[in-house]
Structure 1
Amino acid sequence: MLSYRHAFHAGNYADVLKHTVLVQILRYMLQKDKPICYFDTHAGAGFYDLTTEEANKTAEYHRGIELLWQERSLPQALDDYRECVKAACGEHLTAYPGSPWFAQHLLRPQDRLVLCELHPADRAQLEQTFGASKNVQCYAEDGWQKSLALVPPPERRGLVLIDPSYELKEEYGKVVEHVKQLHRKFATGVYAIWYPIADPERTAFLLRRMRSSGIKRIVQLELGVTRDHREAGMTGTGMIVINPPWNLAEVMQPALEFFARRLGPYAYSDIVELAGE
């Protein structure tokens, strides 16, 4: 299915969580001189104009990046994230960068980006934004298949971001099976998997399958506007990270707690170790 368009959701609280985690993972990996490869299986358009009709139809960024935009003091992880957004759009919140932009902004010339997107309109914008960069490869191919074909990367160090739309219920199981295949080929890679909380049974299924996958070193970071799943629509969001930086939970905990307080009186945050060493 190609009906999902992230332009309607850019900058929402799910993006805040996803991109704050992404920034911290990349900053940690870049402490070593050796090059890395960044894979994005569902890259989207890569950059979003918040003044468009699409962005303001739901205006989800009001309950996302905008809550942090004018804060004088932020926990370090949120401050690192906000600085990246400001580098993308300046002092005025009129645009929002997608995951490929964060990665390209932080990565070095010796690092490489592999971006996959099937939606024709989003792919065209992705290629327009990143296609001229020598260290970026844009593919009009299925990101599930392409990532599996390209790991392990020649660099032997890499981060795979898996960020499907979950429009189909089968994707909750597909994510786990795909990660298991990737991990068998590239066990030392870092994997960051985003998921929504819209159907608690499907979320529980995803986490249960991930726990029983046999993969070690998995951490789950979750942020929600309410634990009452009778609410319609998405009530929360999460990230599953395999082979996380050793300090990821430590740096993310104050960031999640801070942002949860900004989201409202019923908001919450959790960090759970799904699998140890």
Structure 2
Amino acid sequence: MLSYRHAFHAGNHADILKHLCWLGVIQHLKQKTKPFVLFDTHAGAGEYPLNDDFASQNKEYDTGMTRLLDTQAVSPLLDDYLTLSRPFWQQQIYPGSPRLMAGALREQDHAHVMELHPTEIDNLQRSMRRLHNEAIHVHHRDGLEGLIALTPPNPNRGAVLIDPPYEQKKEYKQVADTAAKVYSRWQNAQMVIWYPLLSGRAEEKAQACQSMLDAASQLGKNAFCAELTVAENTHDAGMYGSGVLVINPAWQLDEQLTQAMKEVAGQLGPQAGFSLRWLKTESM
């Protein structure tokens, strides 16, 4: 259960989608001066040296972040993402969601980052300790359990990033159940749930993922899913892309994410494509 190490996949296509969306959520929260609270349930190591044994094994960043390095972004969201990321890239480091988040926080904001893996939590604590920011709280605990325990926050403005490895099929239902419990007590939360796009050889997990999307998308007033594909969906393709489900998205986040991701897809190769669809539009 604790075998997953995100360093194998650092900087790949899934990270780009996930982190662009998460940054877009944060930037919208910053449009008001009121403070907010962020939660990252599967924070990982915080940052990933590209010369690390794990990251350099498959070099997934070469088909992801590396292709964006020289991009002159038209999209303001993509430009913000590249501006935050480039100082790390110059040091041959990919910044995970906690480091990107930390770079976007203001003095009045707070964050809770959670990680259960015994090695990853050590790396995360070191990464966050270097920031000397007492507003970022690091928790060595199960992220879904921690999210339920720590919400609703005070103040109750804020957002959640849920990004499990989905090593086991049951994790999809656990995510849906957690989202429902959080929403029942914190109804104005924005939630970002990352998920893989899996081909026919992983049919049971793909069905579990669809069930999760069906259930979680009904929680808020509005919800959309945004998906990036990087390969043809053949039976044996495996993970051919990924998506994010956004519950209670901020106004125009869909347009800003679409503009950014279409630029990204154009850099990732001829098989890359992006789509966004609304799953619930109760109050637009």
| TM-score, normalised with respect to structure 2 | 0.92
What amino acid maps onto 2:207 in structure 1? E
Q: Note closer, same or farther for the CA distance 1:137–1:69 as it changes in structure 2 (3 Å cut).
A: same
Moved more, 22-31 or 218-227: 218-227
Structure 1 pair 73–63 and aligned structure 2 pair: CA distance change class (3 A): same
Deviations 1:54-83 (A, max 9, x none): 111110001111111012344222211111
> Which amino acid is the alignment partner of residue 201 of structure 1?
Q
Q: Is the 8 A contact 1:14 1:236 kept in 2?
A: yes
Q: Closer, same or farther in 2 for the Cα pair 1:73/1:29, shift >3 Å?
A: closer
Unaligned runs of 5+ in 1: none
Equivalent in the alignment of 1:129 = 127
2:138 partner SS: strand
1:254 equivalent in alignment to 2:252: no
**Which residue in the other structure is 1:180 paired with?**
180
Q: CA deviation at 1:162?
A: 0.5
Matches of 1:102 and 1:191, distance apart in 2: 17
- Using the TM superposition, give the Cα deviation of residue 210 of structure 1 relative to its aligned residue in structure 2, in angstroms: 3.0
Identity %: 37
CA-to-aligned-CA distance 1:116-150 (integer Å, 9 cap, x gap): 11111110111112134211111111111111111
Once residues 138 and 154 of structure 1 are traced to their aligned partners in structure 2, the CA distance between those partners, rounded to angstroms, is 17
1:71 matched to 2:71? The reply is yes
Kept in 2: contact 1:180–1:215 (CA 8 A): no
Which of 82, 96, 114 is the aligned partner of 1:98?
96
- The answer to whether the 8 A contact 1:114-1:137 is kept is yes
Specify the alignment match of 2:117 in structure 1. 119
Contact preservation (8 Å) 1:173, 1:209:
no
Q: For residue 243 of structure 2, what is the amino acid of its counterpart?
A: G
Question: What is the number of equivalent residue pairs in this alignment?
Answer: 274
Partner of 1:3: 3
Corresponding residue for 2:154?
Answer: 154
- Secondary structure, in 3 states, of the residue corresponding to 2:244? strand
Cα deviation for residue 207 of structure 1 reads: 2.4
Q: 1:214 to 1:192 in 2, by over 3 A?
A: closer
Q: 1:230 maps to what in 2?
A: 235
Q: Find the aligned partners of 1:187 and 1:236 in 2 and give their Cα distance.
A: 30
Alpha-carbon deviation of 1:93? 6.0
Contact 1:11 1:96 in 2 (8 A): yes
> Is the contact made by 2:110 and 2:135 (CA closer than 8 Å) also made in structure 1?
yes
- The match for 1:59 is 59
TM-score (norm 1): 0.94
Secondary structure of 1:127's aligned partner:
helix
Counterparts in 2 of 1:133 and 1:17: CA distance versus 1, 3 Å: same
CA drift at 1:227: 4.3
What secondary structure sits across from 1:134 in the alignment? coil
Moved more, 263-272 or 43-52: 263-272
Contact 1:116 1:139 in 2 (8 A): yes
Q: Is the 8 A contact 2:220 2:248 kept in 1?
A: no
- Looking at structure 1, the residues matched to 10 and 177 of structure 2 have their Cα atoms a distance apart, in angstroms, of 28
Contact 1:190 1:243 in 2 (8 A): yes
Displacement of 1:214 in angstroms is 4.4
SS in 1 for 2:28: helix
Q: Which residue of 2 aligns with 1:202?
A: 208
1:109 match: 107
